[in-house]
A and B are shown apart, each in its own frame.
Chain A
């Protein structure tokens, strides 16, 4: 099964 990653996991909230 494939899981969709979320962008917030890659980028920082600033």
Chain B
């Protein structure tokens, strides 16, 4: 038996928003520790890794490990039926071929349940080696979304260049060229507005704009985003999810032919 209760179901709505542009379907692996998802996009260029710890939920029970293959368009239809303040309970029997979503209004006067068929997915798990990154940039997630959106008007690729002075995002194309430089913030009142850089070595890498823009669909999950870069390895874009865990996106770089 699997059962997870979430008082504010808006978190799950935001998670779904953050993955559905990259993935059509995904397997949610449920265990005693929580819910995990790891899936590559169809083109095998980016990977989504989601971790929601069991202790973040208001109630969590998972007697046996359970892998739920879910069509994300179907799940989106169901989650649209929930109010942001509804209390969500997800339930599944062991070895079930369906999962139930129950939404209760705060005053408990309205209770809805939706039963969704699970699908069988061929799981392809990737081993992600521990990496010491040359540059770790923390910045406001809204600012990162804005930069990705603005630069995608100029070219298909964004060059991210990090030194100890700051980080530069550049794009170039038919219109011309664009450069956005962010310096480390000296003093900020709010931690979430800070730009901080931990640098071992300067790094410059090129990435496809389209994927960066898809990652920014997670902006609502966290006020800050963390970018981890090393030469010739995938970029990691991480958004913390409150008391639950995180969503990480890995994106392979573009290299000179």
Contacts and interface: CB of A to CB of B under 8 A. Distances in A.
Interface of A: 1-14
A12 B255 CA distance: 20
Nearest to B251: A7
21 contacts: A2-B157, A2-B256, A3-B254, A3-B255, A4-B45, A4-B208, A4-B254, A5-B254, A7-B46, A10-B234, A11-B47, A11-B126, A11-B127, A11-B128, A11-B129, A12-B129, A13-B125, A13-B127, A14-B125, A14-B126, A14-B127
Contacts of A7: 40, 44-47, 126, 234, 250, 252
Contacts of A12: 126-127, 129
Contacts of B129: 11-12
Q: How large is the interface on B (under 10, 10 to 19, 20 to 34, 35 or more residues)?
A: 20 to 34
Interface in B123-141: 124-129
Contacts of A8: 44, 126
Contacts of A2: 157, 206, 254-257
A9 B47 CA distance: 13
Contacts of B127: 11-14
B249 to A, nearest CB: 11
Contacts of A13: 124-127
Given A2-B157, A4-B45, A4-B208, A10 B252 contact: yes
A9 B255 CA distance: 13
> Which residue, B124, B128, B233, B252, has most C-beta atoms of chain A within 10 A?
B252
Contacts of B157: 2
Contacts of B125: 13-14
